[in-house]
Amino acid sequence: MKKIFLSTMMLIGAYGFTQAQISGGIKGGLNFANQEYSSDGFSISPDMRTSFHLGAFAVVNFSDNL
């Protein structure tokens, strides 16, 4: 039981040191797409399509050399 408690406390303590080396956030935006296809005198021009994108990112610094 002491080993589990000690291991847990060490992991929690190590997490405090790594907290300063991790950053991140969210991203989002709007997309506008408009394409024209043409081949052998045949041309298609569909209407413009509007959509959105969402995402997340994280920056983790393991060491100065990595």
pLDDT tens, position by position, 29-60: 998 888 777 887 777 777 888 899 999 988 87
| Contact partners, residue 28, CB within 8 Å, separation at least 6 | 52, 53, 54, 55
**pTM for this one?**
0.39
Q: Where are the domains positioned within the chain?
A: 22-66
